[in-house]
Amino acid sequence: MTDTRDSRLSSWRSPDPLSPAEECAWAREVAAHAHAGQRDKAGEPYFSHCQRVADAVVGEKAKTVAFLHDVVEKSPGWTLERLKDVGFSPEVIIAVQALTRQPGETKDALTLRAVPNPLSVVVKRADLQDNLAQVKRLGRSDAEYRRRLNLLDQALQENIALHDPRDAGLARSRSALSPGDKNDARVTKVVATAALAVVSAILLGAAALAVWTELFDGR
How many domains does the chain divide into? 1
CATH number for the domain that contains residue 119: 1.10.3210.10
> What's the confidence (pLDDT) of residue 211?
54
- For the chain, give the percent of residues with pLDDT over 70: 66
> CA 98, CA 112: separation in Å to the nearest integer?
9
Which domain covers residue 129, as residue numbers?
4-217
| DSSP 3-state of 71 | helix
Asked if residue 62 has pLDDT above 70, the reply is yes
172 pLDDT higher than 50: no
d(CA 77, CA 75): 6
Residue 52 has a pLDDT of 97
Structure pTM? 0.71
- pLDDT band for 174, please (50, 70, 90 cuts): very low
Residue 80 CA to its chain's centroid (Å): 14
Burial (CB < 10 A; 0-12, 13-18, 19+), residue 148, is: buried
Integer Cα distance of 45 and 35 in angstroms: 8
**More confident site: 59 or 192:** 59
- Give residue 167's identity as a one-letter amino acid code: D
Rounded-to-integer distance, Cα 209 and Cα 86, Å? 18
* Mean pLDDT within 88-97: 96
Do residues 145 and 128 make contact, with C-beta atoms less than 8 angstroms apart?
Answer: yes
Residue 214, pLDDT score: 59
* pLDDT band at 17; cut points 50, 70, 90: confident
Mean pLDDT of 44-71: 97
Please state, in angstroms and as integers, the Cα–Cα distance from residue 23 to each residue in 49, 51, 65, 93, following that order.
Answer: 19, 15, 10, 12
**What would the pLDDT profile of 96-145 be if each residue is shown by its tens digit?**
999 999 999 999 999 999 999 999 999 999 999 999 999 999 999 999 99
Position 92 confidence tier, pLDDT thresholds 50, 70, 90: very high
Residue in 133, 112, 115 with CA at minimum distance from that of residue 204:
115
